[in-house]
């Protein structure tokens, strides 16, 4: 069975998701209400229960396959806030004390994509973006139960989703000033559904600012990730160590870094054409054994991945002996998980 990143959706999902682009903010539904949202969630099997606990004190956020069960139970959504005076009524309002997650996600998206789309549903926020050539796929799922508030409209169809399309440049500019202890509230006013407002606050620092992102029509990614539930991490690295290695690599290799991976270990080193040496191994890397994954990656792209060290304790790398892509996984604070898939071909 082909386990690489795959193009297209099964059943009638392609038509459902294509219809989600008819306006900037909208709800998307279908007659096949029992299956549609489950199909979408199942495409993100890379964000699932195989993610290991970072420590015993903090259980890892449930993965998409677990959240999927909540959708099947058809839990009724809380209606959007109705107590606001006319003219300021909010279409949706979502808040968390982990604003830094969105800043790190924004940096990661900008290094890979021009535009992106967030799907909002009862179970949380889901993002899946891939490059045109299919070499990079980024998936993110943030669990609604981990937010301080998660108020979205109540639709007749419980499988409905809200799609927010935006420029990744605008997203980064709106989150640029966020620090580790900041809170964030995201809302859309009912009378202006073409604008997403981010309100960043920090009571201790007496900080309060509002940034606005213009919503736009975007195209949903059509790649799906394979499951890794049968495979333990090739290497689990302290996030601080991973970031330090990327910083050191950037000093030697300004443009490109080579990553090779075996089933039980990985190594990052200077690209063959570059002068100067750098090498960092993770897991049980064994020199002399053939690599399953062997690719040169831009230091800018790796640096954006390293930014996730601010919101996760460990970085997990998965490399399988079949043709599944290299997977880099990190916790998105306590909110959920971010996964990056690199679909490289081995170089002999």
pLDDT digits (tens, 9 = 90+) for 20-38: 333 345 554 433 333 444 4
On the question of pLDDT at 59 being above 80, the answer is no
Write down the pLDDT at residue 300: 85
Percent of the chain clearing pLDDT 70 (strictly above): 72
User: What are φ and ψ of residue 167, in 5° steps?
Assistant: -80, 130
Residue 290, judged by CB atoms within 10 A of its CB (0-12, 13-18, 19+), counts as exposed
**Which of 291, 287, 338 is CA-nearest to residue 315?**
338
Write down the pLDDT at residue 146: 96
Instruction: Measure the CA angle with vertex 46, ends 78 and 51; round to 5°.
Output: 85
Write down the pLDDT at residue 192: 87
**Picking from 118-122, 129-133, 195-199, which range would have the lowest pLDDT averaged per residue?**
129-133
Q: Which residue has the higher pLDDT, 83 or 232?
A: 232
Mean pLDDT of the chain: 76
On the question of pLDDT at 176 being above 70, the answer is yes
Instruction: Report the distance separating Cα 104 and Cα 45, nearest Å.
Output: 22
| pTM (2 d.p.) | 0.77
Name the token pair of 228. 């890794």
Those residues whose C-beta lies under 8 Å from the C-beta of residue 60, and which sit 6 or more positions away, are 51, 52, 53, 54, 331, 337
Write down the pLDDT at residue 273: 55
Radius of gyration of the chain (CA): 20
Looking at domain 235-319, its CATH superfamily turns out to be DNA Polymerase III, subunit A, domain 2 (3.10.150.10)
Local structure of residue 284 (DSSP, 8 states): S
pLDDT digit string, tens, across residues 90-108: 889 999 999 999 999 999 9
Note whether 347 and 272 are within 8 A (CB).
no
Those residues whose C-beta lies under 8 Å from the C-beta of residue 329, and which sit 6 or more positions away, are 46, 47, 51, 233, 315, 316, 317, 318, 337, 338, 339, 340
| β partners of residue 7 | 223
Write down the pLDDT at residue 275: 54
Q: Which residue has the higher pLDDT, 1 or 164?
A: 164
**Which of 68, 61, 67, 63 is CA-nearest to residue 46?**
63
How many Cα neighbours within 13 Å face the side chain of 247?
8
Looking at domain 11-224, its CATH superfamily turns out to be DNA Polymerase III, subunit A, domain 2 (3.10.150.10)
Q: Tell me where in the chain the CATH 3.10.150.10 domain(s) lie.
A: 11-224, 235-319
Q: Specify the residue for token string 């993965």.
A: 63
Those residues whose C-beta lies under 8 Å from the C-beta of residue 295, and which sit 6 or more positions away, are 258, 259, 326, 342, 344, 345, 347
Instruction: Report the distance separating Cα 4 and Cα 225, nearest Å.
Output: 7
């Amino acid at each position: 069975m082909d386990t690489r990143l795959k193009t297209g959706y099964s059943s009638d999902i392609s038509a459902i998701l294509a219809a989600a682009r008819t306006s900037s903010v909208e709800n998307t539904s279908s007659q096949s209400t029992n299956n549609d949202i489950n199909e979408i969630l199942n495409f993100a099997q890379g964000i699932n229960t195989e993610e290991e606990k970072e420590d015993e004190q903090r259980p890892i956020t449930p993965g998409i396959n677990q959240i999927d069960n909540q959708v099947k139970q058809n839990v009724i959504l809380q209606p959007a806030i109705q107590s606001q005076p006319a003219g300021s009524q909010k279409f949706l309002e979502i808040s968390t004390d982990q604003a830094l997650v969105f800043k790190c996600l924004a940096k990661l998206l900008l290094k890979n994509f021009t535009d992106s789309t967030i799907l909002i549903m009862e179970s949380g926020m889901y993002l899946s973006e891939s490059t045109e050539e299919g070499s990079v796929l980024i998936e993110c799922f943030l669990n609604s139960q981990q937010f301080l508030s998660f108020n979205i409209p109540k639709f007749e169809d419980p499988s409905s989703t809200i799609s927010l399309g935006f420029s990744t440049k605008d997203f980064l500019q709106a989150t640029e000033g966020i620090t580790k202890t900041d809170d964030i509230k995201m809302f859309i006013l009912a009378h202006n559904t073409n604008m997403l407002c981010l309100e960043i606050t920090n009571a201790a620092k007496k900080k309060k600012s509002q940034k606005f992102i213009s919503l736009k029509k975007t195209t949903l990614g059509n790649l799906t990730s394979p499951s890794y539930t049968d495979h333990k991490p090739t290497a689990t690295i302290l996030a601080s160590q991973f970031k330090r290695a990327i910083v050191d690599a950037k000093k030697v290799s300004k443009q490109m870094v080579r990553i090779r991976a075996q089933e039980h270990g990985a190594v990052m080193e200077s690209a063959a054409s570059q002068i100067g040496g750098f090498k960092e191994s993770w897991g049980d890397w064994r020199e002399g054994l053939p690599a399953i994954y062997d690719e040169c990656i831009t230091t800018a792209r790796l640096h954006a991945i390293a930014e996730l060290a601010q919101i996760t304790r460990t970085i997990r790398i998965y490399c399988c002996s079949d043709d599944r892509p290299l997977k880099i996984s990190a916790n998105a604070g306590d909110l959920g998980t971010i996964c990056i898939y690199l679909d490289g071909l081995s170089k002999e």
